[in-house]
Amino acid sequence: MSRSSQKGMADTLRISFALKNTYRVNTILYSLKQVPIIKRVLPDTLYQVKELKILANVISVIWETASAFLGKLLYMLLMIVGAAKLYENTSGEDIFLHILLFLTLIGVFANTYMLNPSRDKYYAMILMRMNAKEYTIVNYGYDILKIVIGFLPFSLIFGMGSHLPVWVCLLIPFSIAGMKITYAALSLIKYERTHKTTSENQIGKLGWFLIGVLLACAYGLPAAGIYVPSQICLVIMGLAVLTGGFAIRTILKFDRYREMYQEILTQSMTQMDDAKELTKQMSQKGISSDVIITSKKTGLEYFNEIFIKRHKKILWKSANKVAIVSLIVVLAAMLLFYLMPAIKEDTNEVLMTFLPYFVFVMYMINRGTRFTSALFMNCDHSMLTYAVYKQPKFVLKLFAIRLREIIKINLLPAVVIGVGLAAILYVSGGTENPLNYLVLVVSILCMSVFFSVHYLTIYYLLQPYNAGTEIKSGTYKIITSGTYIVCYLMMQVRMSTLVFGCMTIIFSVVYCIVACILVYRVAPKTFKLRN
């Protein structure tokens, strides 16, 4: 490579980093401005304050560093090592490489880096007209380097912990990078021949089917005692490194990056517009157009009851389905106990220690986000334009009414699950302490109430939507993502049902009281349309 080419690549890398960092810094500053407590002490001229920009740049550097390591750590720890511990009849080496192989194959086409229609690509290649080839090669090379560096320490730590030789641990990050590079090169060859390409955001039905099959192979086959021998895994990994090395030449020689990315980015924008329109249409289809729907109540109670009746299909349909499926599962468990009495003892032990697992279950079935989304798109989106609707007394009274409704919706499946678990515990052998039955039922109900209060509270305190029904609150995204992570990690906790159940009940009660106080004091100021 000539000196001029090297200088061009270096300039491209510098500019792309500056562009990405500027976007990230502005995002951080905007997110800080959205935090209810912090925004009071921040000046209106936030983006002109040098000290805050320096702070945002420091956070941006930490963010970039964390993105190289934190995600890989969680991936290896939860998706591979944590899952491998569930299989007792296979060696750590075999199950580690088996799961890693199939998950890597999913990441090859679901997380390509090359075909990701990111915002920074649009800014750089479309708006700023940067050299598309240089920009792509520099940034793709950087992403691949992050993969190798990010996976390397955890491959050594967790791989050696699974009794893999050091050379195999060193091979893992390079094989992951090799598979991604090979797939990227094949995508470029396909574009040259067919003039067609698909962004990684448009996986399609076939892609999702393939993901399902690979996940079944990764986790389902070992449960049946079937796994890919470690020797075959190593051969595939070695071939991936070789093909990746040869594929680099294809990536460097390809000259139609601008043309390809114009198509990918156009597809992405069209897809987002279509998704918004589809969401709107689906939401409208779920609304009853029956003009004779009415209510005998008055005031805000009348307003709420009309909304609930018109949106009954959206709000109650999924709750009814979950309740029915839960009942079927409980009855099926009873039948299994009758047909296979030997499983009673194991089931009983699970129920006495696996209650934390149901935090994630209740998180998944809770309709809080669906309820608040329906509230905004089909009611508050229009009503918040009226000053009277934002008066404190109306905000607080309507919050209380809506909280009652979302709790009722979520309690239906919760009652079935709670009572069903108590029944399964009793039939599977019971417990010496009858209090366990009560705690099991009440704790599940408290989890349901907690999530109902949680999502409605953050909706009122942060109101994340703008007039275009887009989520614009960084704080809201952080809280919802954090909720998911905490609930997911709860699946790893093993604790006595009595102890964890009591802790859950106390926490839920305290949280609900604090949340309602916060809404009472803050919501009248925060419940408004975002710009």
334 and 432 in one domain?
yes
pTM of the prediction? 0.60
pLDDT per position as a tens digit, 215-265: 888 888 887 778 888 899 999 999 999 999 999 999 999 988 888 888 887
Q: Could you tell me the sign of the dihedral formed by the alpha carbons of 373, 471, 207, 97, in that order?
A: negative
pLDDT per position as a tens digit, 350-405: 778 888 888 888 888 888 777 777 777 767 767 777 777 767 777 788 788 888 88
**Report for 30-39, 99-108, 199-208, 333-342: range of highest mean pLDDT:** 99-108
Alpha helices by DSSP H, 165-256: 166-194, 204-215, 221-223, 230-253
Question: Could you tell me which residue, 97 or 312, shows the higher pLDDT?
Answer: 97
In a domain, 53, yes or no: no
In a domain, 465, yes or no: yes
Question: Which of 233, 254, 271 is at the close of a domain?
Answer: 271
306 and 235 in one domain?
no
Residue of 375, 204, 385, 413 whose CA lies nearest to 283: 375
Dmax (CA) for the chain in angstroms is: 81
pLDDT per position as a tens digit, 101-130: 999 999 888 888 888 777 777 777 777 777
In the predicted structure, residue 55 carries a pLDDT above the cut 70: no
343 and 230 in one domain?
no
233 and 342 in one domain?
no
In a domain, 33, yes or no: no
246 and 332 in one domain?
no
Question: Could you tell me which residue, 284 or 22, shows the higher pLDDT?
Answer: 22
Question: Could you tell me which residue, 295 or 350, shows the higher pLDDT?
Answer: 350
176 and 114 in one domain?
yes
Q: What is the mean pLDDT of residues 498-520?
A: 88
In a domain, 479, yes or no: yes
Domain that holds residue 447: 299-526
In a domain, 16, yes or no: no
- Rounded to 10 degrees, the C-alpha dihedral 124/128/134/138 comes to -30
- What pLDDT shows up at residue 42? 63
- Rounded to 10 degrees, the C-alpha dihedral 270/272/275/280 comes to -110
Question: CA-CA distance, 26 to 4, in Å (whole number)?
Answer: 33
In a domain, 17, yes or no: no
Instruction: Provide the number of structural domains found in the chain.
Output: 2
348 and 257 in one domain?
no
Residue 189 CA: distances (Å) to CA of 140, 177, 186, 194: 17, 18, 5, 9
- What pLDDT shows up at residue 497? 85
CB 400 within 8 A of CB 457: no
305 and 263 in one domain?
no
The rounded mean pLDDT for the chain is: 79
